[in-house]
């Protein structure tokens, strides 16, 4: 079989591995709505509790501001909402209450997100995040 042939031609007929991936297909609207509801309900209470404890609070807030920005592309917004929902959920890969380790998985999710979607985060998102983190850490 040559590199151009498909190993299983009867599986997924019409699939073209060379075709461009459409980001809209990767984002299920129902999942985006659920993530947005989780973020709307849980982000601010959680960030208020942990802003002084987690070193990635500014990044989390910048992502939140970007996800809420109407100029942010829908594909980027969907991935940001997924990362924010992961941060908000009390049960994740490493439960947040584990001292020293609990937020490392959340930090890894945000750092991976920033490496992929960082170009969508504008100076205004970072500036707003900086102001909020300073306010929260003063409280």
Could you report the per-residue pLDDT of 95-112, keeping only the tens digit for each? Answer: 555 555 677 888 888 999
pLDDT at 3: 44
pLDDT grade, residue 13 (50/70/90)? low
The whole-model pTM stands at: 0.73
Among 7-11, 38-42, 69-73, the range scoring the smallest mean pLDDT is 7-11
- What's the gap between Cα 11 and its chain centre? 32
Ordered by start, the domain boundaries in the chain are 28-138
Whose tokens are 């979607």? That residue is 117
């Amino acid at each position: 079989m040559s590199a151009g042939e498909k190993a299983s031609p009867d599986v997924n007929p019409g699939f073209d591995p060379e075709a461009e991936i459409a980001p809209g297909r990767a984002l299920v609207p129902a999942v985006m709505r659920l993530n947005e509801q989780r973020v709307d309900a849980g982000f601010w209470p959680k960030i208020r509790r942990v802003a002084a404890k987690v070193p990635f609070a500014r990044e989390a807030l910048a992502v939140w501001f970007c996800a809420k920005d109407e100029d942010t592309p829908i594909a980027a917004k969907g991935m940001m909402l997924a990362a924010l929902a992961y941060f908000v959920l009390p049960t994740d890969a490493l439960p947040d209450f584990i001292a020293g380790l609990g937020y490392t998985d959340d930090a890894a999710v945000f750092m991976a997100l920033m490496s992929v979607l960082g170009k969508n985060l504008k100076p205004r998102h970072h500036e707003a995040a900086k102001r909020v983190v300073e306010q929260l850490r003063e409280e």
